[in-house]
Chains A and B, each alone.
Chain A
């Protein structure tokens, strides 16, 4: 099983590296956008899917990264510096927004985070001297490392891919640590988690802050993709879109954001051929998926992996016999 998993991962990695070479400009843009959205969805999955803290402020946190690179770039700050500052700013505000999460839950928390997103939107729309207001900021430079430039769409795709790999690896590392287990414990049974020593305050704040920091990274990568940003890109609609990615993909599953980001980004594009009906079809598809796949599309993924494993590897080995009983050592 392990060998097949490695081979499948390798094949996937080669496909992601080679595939963009064959894509024309618009499709390449969509592929880049999917990677940015994947980063956003991974962040929200950590906050909501693993720690169970709903956030409708993800687009607001995204704007911190986007405006950080857009404002600091012309001042001579390297792209990565702007990205880091944006992510840290989002991390800080994630902690601030995490405090209400210690007091309120579920739809009340959704209202708090929704309010935060609206405040952020209003600030960036009205603070014209800094953010350009409704006109936004154009001509956002793409990163450059000395002679190594990421100016073309293809080069910039690989740059985003590099950051996506970093985000995926770091999220995997966090979620497979004791922190990841504590996040899940809070989601599943908050009272029991506290009784077994989990500090709700520390872990909830961290879940919010890390998810927000990932959104800041996604925002920083998003800004140079179109080389233009305005407040309209960071409205509540965008936050709901991220929520949809995480819920449709599969809450609290590592694979969920991958599936959600691909489906929510690409499905509307595939349905564009139906012209005016595509939004209706898309909405219907979402409703049907939620009705028949309440655990998200990751359920289909599980079924597919199981089916392929059975066909390629054969039935699973019988369980090993139980080990002989040990005696509990005295306290």
Chain B
């Protein structure tokens, strides 16, 4: 059974069709790639799935339940987390606070979040993740003062903090130096092997082809191909979308 199903998802911005009847599913433990030229609707799709945007038509089902009309915070509570193409952090909070913030709403009620002071468990997980991502030495620094690569890692760490069922990564390698790309790829593979499910938007074809076992291709808001890296590589529609006929 699919963990997440995208069913005929459509999004219009006035007369512009950003997504048109896009359907695919994500299986548990999968590492799915989502590629396409700029403006093909990849980030819009992530925004529709995570409740940041309300789709015009279609459905998103997660573990069989319809989550299409849920707000972003409700989608988070279902177990879906994400990173952003343009990094979105809390710049005036420390790295550790950013990590704690990413998990604090996971459990309990509004009132219990006011009354419960102890967060040893979350702190412990945050410190372990920071260690794992090589950010321990900057845990007390403000997020705004990190380098671009470190901010990308922090964004990634924040997506891992709530122990989500699915992690949507929006261009995790964009603007990152080759050494950092190797580190990030290693982390994604490592975590995928531990059971995390990933959907990755990426322009770096070398990374996508080596990382993902299945790839969905979007072009001008429509799904034009789906298959293994080898199948996508051979698909003339994909070549056409990227390089023109």
Per-residue CB contact flags for chain B residues 37-51 toward chain A (1 = under 8 Å, else 0) read 000000000000011
A87 to chain B, nearest CB (A): 17
A181 and B101 contact, Cβ closer than 8 Å, known pairs A196-B158, A322-B136? yes
Considering the complex, give the chain B residue whose CB is closest to the CB of A179.
B114
Per-residue CB contact flags for chain B residues 128-153 toward chain A (1 = under 8 Å, else 0) read 11011000110000000000000000
Contact A188 B91 (CB under 8 A): yes
Q: Which chain A residues in 199-228 approach chain B with CB under 8 Å?
A: 199-200, 202, 206
Contact B76 A202 (CB under 8 A): no
Asked whether any CB of chain B lies closer than 8 Å to the CB of A182, the reply is yes
Asked whether any CB of chain B lies closer than 8 Å to the CB of A270, the reply is no
Asked whether any CB of chain B lies closer than 8 Å to the CB of A326, the reply is yes
Considering the complex, give the chain A residue whose CB is closest to the CB of B163.
A331
Considering the complex, give the chain A residue whose CB is closest to the CB of B112.
A178
Contact B128 A328 (CB under 8 A): yes
Asked whether any CB of chain B lies closer than 8 Å to the CB of A198, the reply is yes
A196 and B93 contact, Cβ closer than 8 Å, known pairs A202-B110, A330-B194? no
Asked whether any CB of chain A lies closer than 8 Å to the CB of B89, the reply is yes
Contact A182 B105 (CB under 8 A): yes
Asked whether any CB of chain B lies closer than 8 Å to the CB of A195, the reply is yes
Asked whether any CB of chain A lies closer than 8 Å to the CB of B162, the reply is yes
A199 and B90 contact, Cβ closer than 8 Å, known pairs A194-B73, A322-B136? no
Contact A178 B114 (CB under 8 A): yes
Contact B137 A322 (CB under 8 A): yes
A264–B163 alpha-carbon span in the complex (Å): 48
Asked whether any CB of chain A lies closer than 8 Å to the CB of B213, the reply is no
Per-residue CB contact flags for chain B residues 196-214 toward chain A (1 = under 8 Å, else 0) read 1000000000000000000
A326–B133 alpha-carbon span in the complex (Å): 10
Pick the contact of B72: A194, A327, A331 (CB < 8 A): A194
Contact B113 A326 (CB under 8 A): no
Per-residue CB contact flags for chain A residues 254-286 toward chain B (1 = under 8 Å, else 0) read 000000000000000000000000000000000
Contact partners of A331 in chain B: CB under 8 A? 163, 191, 194-196
Considering the complex, give the chain B residue whose CB is closest to the CB of A199.
B73
Interface size on B, residues (CB 8 A): 47
Contact A325 B50 (CB under 8 A): no
Q: Which chain B residues in 54-99 approach chain A with CB under 8 Å?
A: 71-73, 76-77, 81-82, 84, 88-93, 97
Contact A178 B131 (CB under 8 A): no
Per-residue CB contact flags for chain A residues 169-181 toward chain B (1 = under 8 Å, else 0) read 0000010011101
A189 and B76 contact, Cβ closer than 8 Å, known pairs A177-B114, A329-B128? no
A184–B97 alpha-carbon span in the complex (Å): 11
Considering the complex, give the chain B residue whose CB is closest to the CB of A203.
B110
Asked whether any CB of chain A lies closer than 8 Å to the CB of B15, the reply is no
Considering the complex, give the chain B residue whose CB is closest to the CB of A252.
B92
A326 and B105 contact, Cβ closer than 8 Å, known pairs A177-B114, A188-B90, A194-B73? no
Pick the contact of A192: B51, B90, B191 (CB < 8 A): B90
Contact A181 B104 (CB under 8 A): yes
Per-residue CB contact flags for chain A residues 17-38 toward chain B (1 = under 8 Å, else 0) read 0000000000000000000000
Contact B89 A196 (CB under 8 A): no
Asked whether any CB of chain B lies closer than 8 Å to the CB of A323, the reply is yes
Contact A327 B132 (CB under 8 A): yes
Contact partners of A177 in chain B: CB under 8 A? 113-115, 117
Contact partners of B132 in chain A: CB under 8 A? 325-328
Asked whether any CB of chain A lies closer than 8 Å to the CB of B100, the reply is yes
Asked whether any CB of chain B lies closer than 8 Å to the CB of A146, the reply is no
Contact partners of A323 in chain B: CB under 8 A? 131, 136
Asked whether any CB of chain A lies closer than 8 Å to the CB of B8, the reply is no
Asked whether any CB of chain A lies closer than 8 Å to the CB of B52, the reply is yes
Contact B105 A189 (CB under 8 A): no
A199–B116 alpha-carbon span in the complex (Å): 18
A329–B93 alpha-carbon span in the complex (Å): 26
Q: Which chain B residues in 211-236 approach chain A with CB under 8 Å?
A: none
Considering the complex, give the chain A residue whose CB is closest to the CB of B130.
A326
Contact partners of A325 in chain B: CB under 8 A? 131-132, 136
A327 to chain B, nearest CB (A): 7
| Most chain A CB atoms below 10 A, which of B52, B73, B88, B128 | B73
Contact A200 B131 (CB under 8 A): no
A154 to chain B, nearest CB (A): 36
A184 and B93 contact, Cβ closer than 8 Å, known pairs A177-B117, A178-B104? yes
Contact A192 B88 (CB under 8 A): yes
- Besides A196-B81, A328-B190, 5 more A-B contacts (Cβ < 8 Å) are A178-B114, A196-B103, A197-B106, A199-B110, A330-B195
Task: List 18 A-B residue pairs with CB atoms under 8 Å apart, sorted by A's residue number.
Answer: A177-B113, A179-B113, A181-B97, A184-B93, A188-B90, A191-B88, A193-B101, A195-B81, A196-B105, A197-B73, A198-B105, A199-B105, A325-B136, A326-B128, A327-B132, A328-B194, A331-B163, A331-B196
Closest 7 CB pairs of A and B: A197-B105, A197-B76, A192-B88, A178-B113, A194-B72, A328-B132, A330-B194
